[in-house]
Amino acid sequence: MIPVLQPASPSMRRTLPGGFPMRVILGCLLVAWIVAPMVPVLLWSVAGQWRAPTVLPSSYSLQGFADLATADTARAAVSSLSLGLGVAVIATPLGYLGALAVRALPAIPSRFVEFVLLVPLAIPPFALVMGVNIALLRLYVSPTLGVTLVLVVTALPYTAFMFRSALASYDHRFEEVARSLGASPGQATRHVRYPLLASAAARAFFLAFLVGWGDYISTLLIGGGQLRTLPLLLGSAASTTGNEQLTTALSVAIIIPPLILLAGLTLPAARKRRQ
């Protein structure tokens, strides 16, 4: 996800107007902009008591995190995890196939596939859910499967985009070389194409996982309260005031797993490029 940059050239380094103090101020402002919303979340998650006029909590405790250790939260975590994985497992290969179709089909059908792949971006998720809900109920689709299917539609533009940009810079001659060295089409695909597309697949998988892991409104409307994921617990906790410790501890618990995944995806690649 983090694009690896070429080292800035000397003149680009002097491109920010203003001298050294201006650059320091700008840097601090940008860091403050990024970090500011998360500061109260982190402080509240470990606060014991934090009454209004004080800037910092007057006592600290891990009660918020301790309160998370319930069977309800564990069930919600399992639901969130399986929803994220389910969406990713279906949407990643579909995105790959979509990107391949856009590339391989003749102009007019290719345009049509491209259009279909982009339509979910233009339809607000809540409208999609309201439209499809009746069909899902008529077909007796279980809430979990229904939410997964709808979120696959939401995730498809992202996975297809990842594969499209990867295929745009993909060199087909590698496969041709493998074929001329005697590999069967299947072998060429397995040993040449899939390894070359692996990082794009990992990024697509990650984005699709995020769609399922963090979704609120589709799960609420289709799940109808039967499918309780972590964001749903958070949404009902955040809409009432007074239990900030639990809400923020839950927020931290939702953010940490994707961040670890993100670090796992980007750090090895960045290290390899730096060597």
Partner 1 sequence: MPFFGPPQFSADAWAGDADELVRSSAISLYIAAVSTLLSLVVGFVLAAYVLAMPRTGRIVETLSAATIPIPHVIGAGAIGLLLSDSGFLERLLGMPDAFPALVSGPWFVAVIAEYAWKESAFVALVVLGSISRSVGDLCDAAATLGAFAGQRIIRVVLPLAVPSLAVSAAIVFVYTLGSYEAAWLLGPTTPEPLPVRAVRLFTSVDLAARPQAMVTALVSVAVSVAVISTAILVLRRHRSLR
38 lies in the binding site for partner 1 (CB under 8 A): yes
Distance between CA 236 and CA 246 in Å, rounded? 11
E-assigned strands of the chain? Answer: 47-49, 59-60
Binds partner 1 (CB under 8 A): choice among 21, 54, 69, 272: 54
- Minimum CB separation of residue 211 from partner 1 in Å reads 10
Q: Are 96 and 167 in contact (CB under 8 A)?
A: no
The binding track of 104-143 with respect to partner 1, each residue x by CB under 8 A or -, is -----------------xxxxxxx--xx------------
Of 250-269, binders to partner 1 (CB under 8 A) are 251, 254-255, 258-259, 261-262, 266
Binds partner 1 (CB under 8 A): choice among 21, 55, 171, 272: 55
Residue 110: count of CB within 10 angstroms of its CB: 14
Distance between CA 44 and CA 59 in Å, rounded? 11
Q: Is 60 helix (H, G, I), strand (E, B) or coil?
A: strand
Select the span of 24-32, 91-99, 101-109, 193-201 touching partner 1 (CB under 8 A). 24-32
Binds partner 1 (CB under 8 A): choice among 2, 25, 97, 104: 2
173 lies in the binding site for partner 1 (CB under 8 A): no
Q: Are 43 and 247 in contact (CB under 8 A)?
A: no
Residue 40: count of CB within 10 angstroms of its CB: 13
Q: Are 217 and 234 in contact (CB under 8 A)?
A: no
240 lies in the binding site for partner 1 (CB under 8 A): no
Of 103, 90, 112, 86, nearest in space to 193 by CA: 103
Q: Where do contacts with partner 1 occur on this chain (CB under 8 A)?
A: 1-3, 5-18, 23, 26-27, 30-31, 33-41, 43-44, 52-55, 121-127, 130-131, 210, 213-217, 221, 231, 234-235, 238-239, 244, 247-248, 251, 254-255, 258-259, 261-262, 266
